[in-house]
Structure 1
């Protein structure tokens, strides 16, 4: 294998050197170096990041790929940890203060006592903020462990309708408090899996159980309606109420289809861009990929218009969606969410199985639009 010096030299020249499973990559080294200090603050990282870590596959007959401590981080800025006080698994996020100077303040604002329990607040709650003594460049925020908003998959149209409602009302809540998210695309929308996964799951292989030895069992959104959250306020901005018409120079978020950012540096309305982000998320994940969401086409088309000035404000989006939602029949709401690439035979079989399960919910009076308590 290459020496560390040789590896770094080759990295400079753009060559990727594969690491052995027991080697931490540079992102992991950052967390490994702070293992003890995080532990002293009440947060325990997984064994892989402990100074005393001995790879489990070296003392057993298992392949490293079958061992939970063989998994690397997906995103170097975020790591899972166990809160020692109550054994709750949480997420820790590393934030560079100079690069994202407003992120912590905006996140804490929505986690303040006055706002955190508001039913329309869909900003990820912040449990704790850690500043480690040796490193003032970074701050670590502690959040709930979440999952992508579309994982597990939506079972019924009604489940998706409830998701849309929470997202629209959550964005409206942010805008009413003069905050533009500026990157509320689909990858920054998550769900709280606590009720969906009563026995939890492994934070790195989320389809596996927390013990890494079997499938993670979950219920449906109809049975256990989840809450959805916006995350990542790295490029968000909060405006003074007196600034009724803010403008921002384009800054790329995760969605590269934003029309006003194409070949332009002209300051634009960040609130209108937020409306595009949400509309385009629904377009990409539902109108393109799923069947049965034609009722959203008109509203989404208006939300993603090329001219930001022609897009509806979020208040109008919420009002129009409420009318759409009330006009959907119970049969439509309980219908199955099907992929566009399903063949006819597959669709018939799955639909028959779906309605067999749905009859039980109807008989028990379970709402077609499941709303979290």
Structure 2
């Protein structure tokens, strides 16, 4: 909460640059020399812009990452935006992230691992590095407009995890927080890296001006901090169970060590079950995804050995998609919360878009360019 009107908070108040943020202020000149400019909050001499009356623009004061090892920056050369992550070096996380970003893996059309644009060696602290990645958005914001857009999402994440498994890498935390979207092209103005429904300068809100169907997006698997890469002869591995973003997998509490590959399958199935079929609550339940239910049911089976592997998941999914009509794929994604008051209101622009896209012969399942 902002300070009371007429008061000035102490230097230790919320809004000051403290804790893990100091790492970034201490490295700002070095990063700028390499071509990366941090937000004003992390520049020399910055102080919280308190005023007698709290102004909405001052909310930038509070925009910090929950993980102090994460930061955003502007590329000075072209004005683009990136995300930075501070990780140990050497480490398996760094090795896996860089390996997927190198050729020939980088050019593989099934590779949906977040690309590493650059690795910076920390000059001040030995044993640490900073990886530079594109600035991404939450995968489901903005909301999906059509069933076909959601099908494109399923296809990409299935193929992405299949690609990892074929290369003997288990993600071990492929949950909703670790799947993101390169969605900048859906917006006319840059969005704030943390409060992504606001403009970058916090002067107002941002709204997408086109849908994923009109401009296909690419989804990425991120955060390989819990991931493991194995030799082919080491599979199936037995690893101590871990607790990542999704702790509902039955094997987490049932055994001390398990094969992490079937657990990845569970995480993806549970994501679709919670975010698309059942919803987190009754208002977030979405309609129209019953065609995914049989596959998802198998993916979240209690016995990991009974779950399909990712090759089987992709094969069955492709069969399902072949059975969906263009009419079904162009159907609007409706949440229970949309009914009944706003359903008709939201349907009008959807039908107008739908007619235009059919006339233009735009595919109902968007395919991003490489």
- TM-score, normalised to structure 2, is 0.90
Shift of 1:55: 4.1
**Match among 69, 80, 84 for residue 76 of structure 2:** 84
Q: Spell out, residue by residue over 1:201-230, the C-alpha distance to the aligned partner (whole angstroms, 9 max, x if none).
A: 121321122332233242210111100000
Report the secondary structure of 2:189's partner residue. Answer: coil
- Residue of structure 1 equivalent to 2:4: none
Given that 1:120 and 1:170 are in contact with CA atoms closer than 8 Å, whether structure 2 keeps it comes out as yes
Shift of 1:348: 3.4
- Residue of structure 2 equivalent to 1:251: 242
**Match among 152, 169, 173 for residue 183 of structure 1:** 173
- Residue of structure 1 equivalent to 2:157: 167
Report the secondary structure of 1:367's partner residue. Answer: coil
1:95 aligns with 2:91: no
- Residue of structure 2 equivalent to 1:237: 228
Rate the CA distance shift 1:245–1:204 in 2: closer, same or farther, 3 A: closer
Task: Measure the CA separation in 1 of the matches of 2:46 and 2:55.
Answer: 14
Report the secondary structure of 1:116's partner residue. Answer: helix
Root-mean-square deviation (Å): 2.0
- Residue of structure 1 equivalent to 2:54: 63
**Match among 201, 226, 251 for residue 260 of structure 1:** 251
1:24 aligns with 2:20: no
Task: Measure the CA separation in 2 of the matches of 1:242 and 1:371.
Answer: 35
Aligned positions of 1:293-332 closer than 5 A: 293-332=289-328
Q: Once structures 1 and 2 are overlaid, which stretch shifts more, 219-228 or 26-35?
A: 26-35
Structure 1's unaligned 5+ residue stretches are 1-16
Q: Spell out, residue by residue over 1:174-198, the C-alpha distance to the aligned partner (whole angstroms, 9 max, x if none).
A: 1111111000011100001132224
Shift of 1:64: 5.2
1:280 aligns with 2:280: no
Shift of 1:355: 1.6
Rate the CA distance shift 1:306–1:355 in 2: closer, same or farther, 3 A: same
Rate the CA distance shift 1:288–1:209 in 2: closer, same or farther, 3 A: same
1:197 aligns with 2:187: yes
Shift of 1:298: 0.5
- TM-score, normalised to structure 1, is 0.89
Given that 1:47 and 1:69 are in contact with CA atoms closer than 8 Å, whether structure 2 keeps it comes out as no
Shift of 1:166: 0.5
Q: Once structures 1 and 2 are overlaid, which stretch shifts more, 211-220 or 39-48?
A: 211-220
Task: Measure the CA separation in 1 of the matches of 2:241 and 2:287.
Answer: 34
Rate the CA distance shift 1:44–1:323 in 2: closer, same or farther, 3 A: same
- Residue of structure 2 equivalent to 1:41: 34
Task: Measure the CA separation in 1 of the matches of 2:43 and 2:341.
Answer: 51
- Residue of structure 2 equivalent to 1:350: 346
Given that 1:181 and 1:236 are in contact with CA atoms closer than 8 Å, whether structure 2 keeps it comes out as yes
Given that 1:178 and 1:238 are in contact with CA atoms closer than 8 Å, whether structure 2 keeps it comes out as yes
- Residue of structure 2 equivalent to 1:13: none
Task: Measure the CA separation in 2 of the matches of 1:298 and 1:91.
Answer: 37
- Residue of structure 2 equivalent to 1:210: 200
Given that 1:209 and 1:217 are in contact with CA atoms closer than 8 Å, whether structure 2 keeps it comes out as no
Q: Spell out, residue by residue over 1:289-334, the C-alpha distance to the aligned partner (whole angstroms, 9 max, x if none).
A: 2111000000000000010000001000000000111111111111
Given that 1:55 and 1:70 are in contact with CA atoms closer than 8 Å, whether structure 2 keeps it comes out as yes
Report the secondary structure of 1:344's partner residue. Answer: coil
- Residue of structure 2 equivalent to 1:115: 105
Q: Once structures 1 and 2 are overlaid, which stretch shifts more, 303-312 or 37-46?
A: 37-46
Shift of 1:27: 2.3
Task: Measure the CA separation in 1 of the matches of 2:361 and 2:59.
Answer: 41
- Residue of structure 2 equivalent to 1:106: 96
Given that 2:49 and 2:58 are in contact with CA atoms closer than 8 Å, whether structure 1 keeps it comes out as yes
1:133 aligns with 2:133: no
- Residue of structure 1 equivalent to 2:283: none
Task: Measure the CA separation in 2 of the matches of 1:321 and 1:193.
Answer: 25
- Residue of structure 1 equivalent to 2:3: none
Task: Measure the CA separation in 2 of the matches of 1:197 and 1:278.
Answer: 28
Given that 2:16 and 2:48 are in contact with CA atoms closer than 8 Å, whether structure 1 keeps it comes out as no
Report the secondary structure of 2:232's partner residue. Answer: coil
